[in-house]
Amino acid sequence: MSKELAKTYDPKGLEDRIYQKWLDNKYFHAEVNRDKKPFTIVMPPPNVTGQLHMGHALDETMQDILIRFKRMQGYEALWQPGTDHAAIATEVKVIEKLKEQGIDKNEIGREEFLKHAWEWKEEYGGKIINQLKKLGASADWDRERFTMDEGCSKAVQEVFIKLYEKGYIYKGSRIINWCPVCQTSISDAEVEHEDQDGFFWHINYPVAGEEGQFVEIATTRPETLLGDTAVAVNPEDERYKHLVGKMLKLPLTDREIPVIADEYVDKEFGTGCVKITPAHDPNDFEVGKRHNLEEINIMNDDATINELGGKYAGMDRYEARKAMVADLEAQGLLVKVVPHSHSVGTHDRCKTTVEPMIKPQWFVRMKEMGEAAIETLKNGELQFVPERFDKTYMHWLENIRDWCISRQLWWGHRIPAYYCDECGETVVAREMPEKCPKCGCTHLHQDEDTLDTWFSSALWPFSTLGWPEKTEEMEYFYPTDVLVTGYDIIFFWVIRMVFSGLEQTGKTPFHHVLIHGLVRDSQGRKMSKSLGNGIDPLEVIDKYGADALRLTLMTGNAPGNDMRFYWERIEASRNFANKVWNASRFIMMNLEKADIPKNIDLQTLTGADKWILSKVNTLAKEVTENLDKYELGIAVQKVYDFIWEEFCDWYIEMVKPRLYNDEDTTKAAALWTLKTVLSNALKLLHPYMPFITEEIYCTLCPEEESIMISAWPEFTEEWDFAADEEAVETIKEAVRGIRNVRTGMNVPPSKKAKVFVVSEEAAVREIFESGKVFFATLGYASEVFVQADKEGIAEDAVSAVIGNAVIYMPFAELVDIEKEIERLKKEEEKLEKELARVNGMLNNERFISKAPESKVQEEREKLERYTNMMEQVKERLAQLQ
């Protein structure tokens, strides 16, 4: 081997170099290839304004693991990347930048503003992509897309027009969520509900023409009283039946409003009388429609009271609340104020309390498309991992409202609707008509609004593959295989992609949705700017390497569950990388000293070789099954445990005597096994730790181009050595027994002693005879004697009892006899407890009759084993005492 590994593992020195090699060789690039099966993942497009955070790092690592695994399995694996234009977030950033330069968005106008926005995108837009590359993301960067590139924009326009022509998109005045700070409508999914401490203000509304008669209502938003157009009671409520149809004087105004009966009112809640403000509450809006009530909007876009508010006009909503409550009190109409914690909707971007308002907006009708999205889950075409998220998905779809898709922003896809300046006719078209189809006027103007960002990202799985054109990619790579996303985004995005995919392509856009949790801090808190507890993945990569970060994010990871981030775990992952590196260096240094056959007769392998080969063989099978079931955390734990314990701590130690002995005829077999098992273990680790595995593998197997395109290990019958596995496990049990005894007596490893293995079973004796060389090394033995009885063993020998043998060590000169007696007494106590437990179970009729036969048999075997061990312990005690 000409190339060798550096003395110490330094991720900084190798990660960028390796990534560049992968890019140069186009290993990430996928092509339509009819000879292979496709496997496709579309990357949830990070915001173009974005910066890599831990949530991204987890999400992208999981996708990268799956794509690398499938690529090695021989699939044509496409990981389709791209970024999202993030309308609100980007517009805010651009406005801030212009402000710093003393420029007002409204003064420069739309065209000029958009020039600045595109410049901003060019300058900062690539940042998160470069950060993903630092993480090792093997996405097909040659195919990178942007939600506002020409192709995606064409898809957006196409879908809008198709849905409009079908009657699924309409413009109407309905209640929407309005953000007074961002000055735009936002969808239900962008409203975060949080419990806030507030109050119930109880207010008396006088009954018109009936002196001293009042109706008492309770409200959490007294300022909306200005827009009340009725008070509603339940038709079954005996207390108020006599009032239905009467008029009330609306406090602080000169208006009168009716009392109406509607089943929406809960008799048990509050006073049983509810003020109805159709222009400022979604439920009241529905009541208003049923009773033909007037809709009075009393707010401006910045949440100040408008000219309909009389003396309160111009006041901020909360300022007006204070003034109105004071006036109600002065007029004797304020009954009481009761503290009340209630759910308040805030804009997830800027955290402002949203204001429900009636405004003319564009909506998508959800009934039919929502039903199709429900059906695809029910018939199994769409599956969530874990399955419990089916409920979340169904709940949201069963309660879905029409989706408000217009946004009062300039950055985004402008709505392709044109209005005639003369007659007001609306035309939805691919470009501005030359004249109005209704009146012939040639003066038209385009709708000022843009589409909700989620409208374009809903098309992402197919717009990125060239739809609406009939491209080869679309035909080959769609529908995609799995979508990986956090549980906080099911409604936002997953549902919209599902119904858009079904409506536009007739197919569910992905077969599986793999849901992961959030990465929380070590105290279990959500990472946030306000808490200042966010951890920058790039800082972790800079300090410990991308591989250590990736391994940490996947250790203990279970689908759908949150995980905590600990720096100690990053350290542990880095230590594991060092372990793999040092073990590989040790192996390679030995490989250089001898010729290893390319192929070997498996019968020339020793029991230890067959054991580790059999272990890595089973590991390949199990890890493949876990990855196919998306159990990424379970799979990596198995690989980690195998490499650290079985391979490094046991096998490498077992073979050292053979490597150091030039006379040993099994040396070539040991070297072949070391190289074979290491290369397979590296392949199984590769999806998780791509950089270190690439560096080691290409040094270990210089004839191979890259581990990335090497073949994934598969289970093979000829490497299945069950008997050898059992044999080595017996020896390991004996070694652990010896080590425990020596540790208990504080015997240093440097102190060698004779070891006697006593067993009546010839098969057990044969195991120790054939494994003598490495058993002696691992058991700190000066010599090993294997025999059927205790002949020739000193009276004062200490022992370790294993299932079917006893290990004796004549430690007379080392041992403190008293201590050994104490240790055996503890062992006796422990065995007494175990025997009492097993006997208790086996004497329990209910257990015998109800437990599975295998469980009962297992307990019987334990009884036999503990009884034998107890006999030997008692005998040993008798000797010493």
- Give the torsion sign (CA, 325, 231, 285, 218): positive
Question: Using CA atoms, how far apart are residues 161 and 159, in angstroms rounded to an integer?
Answer: 5
| 590 touches 621 (CB < 8 A) | no
Q: Cα separations (Å) of 717 from 73, 285, 618, 670, 713? A: 19, 69, 10, 21, 13
| 279 touches 285 (CB < 8 A) | yes
Q: For residue 322, say whether it is annotated as part of any ligand binding site.
A: no
Exposed, middle or buried by CB within 10 Å (0-12, 13-18, 19+), for 383?
Answer: middle
Question: Per DSSP, which regions of 826-881 are E strands?
Answer: none
Residue in the structure block whose two tokens are 């992905």: 510
Question: Per DSSP, which regions of 139-272 are E strands?
Answer: 145-146, 169-179, 184-186, 191-206, 214-219, 230-233, 247-249, 256-261
Determine the straight-line distance between the first and last CA of the chain, rounded to whole angstroms. Answer: 60
H/E run at residue 355: strand 355-364
Question: Using CA atoms, how far apart are residues 494 and 474, in angstroms rounded to an integer?
Answer: 19
Question: Using CA atoms, how far apart are residues 186 and 190, in angstroms rounded to an integer?
Answer: 6
| 135 touches 79 (CB < 8 A) | no
User: For residue 292, how many other CB atoms are within 10 A of its CB?
Assistant: 7
Token pair belonging to 121 = 């995108």
| 494 touches 393 (CB < 8 A) | yes
| 185 touches 402 (CB < 8 A) | no
β-sheet bridge partners, residue 276? 230
Q: Count of alpha carbons within 13 Å of 584, Cβ hemisphere only? A: 28
- Sheet containing 480-486, strands listed edge to edge, beginning at the edge strand earlier in sequence: 383-385, 510-516, 480-486
| 683 touches 571 (CB < 8 A) | no
For strand 76-80 and strand 805-809, is the pairing parallel, antiparallel, or unpaired?
A: unpaired
Token pair belonging to 767 = 């195991």
Our measurement of the distance from residue 260's CA atom to the centroid of its chain's CA atoms, rounded to an integer in Å, reads 49
| 731 touches 777 (CB < 8 A) | no
For strand 214-219 and strand 406-407, is the pairing parallel, antiparallel, or unpaired?
A: unpaired
Question: Using CA atoms, how far apart are residues 42 and 465, in angstroms rounded to an integer?
Answer: 10
User: For residue 748, how many other CB atoms are within 10 A of its CB?
Assistant: 8
Q: What is the CA radius of gyration of the chain?
A: 37
Task: Name, in order, each residue with C-beta under 8 angstroms of 231's C-beta and a sequence gap of 6 or more.
Answer: 205, 215, 217, 248, 257, 258, 259, 260, 273, 274, 275, 276
DSSP state of 316: B
Our measurement of the distance from residue 645's CA atom to the centroid of its chain's CA atoms, rounded to an integer in Å, reads 28
For strand 519-520 and strand 563-564, is the pairing parallel, antiparallel, or unpaired?
A: parallel
H/E run at residue 516: strand 510-516
| 156 touches 146 (CB < 8 A) | no
Question: Using CA atoms, how far apart are residues 212 and 81, in angstroms rounded to an integer?
Answer: 70
Q: Which of 253, 255, 229, 234 shows the shortest CA–CA distance to 244?
A: 234
Binding residues for ATP: 529
Binding residues: 529
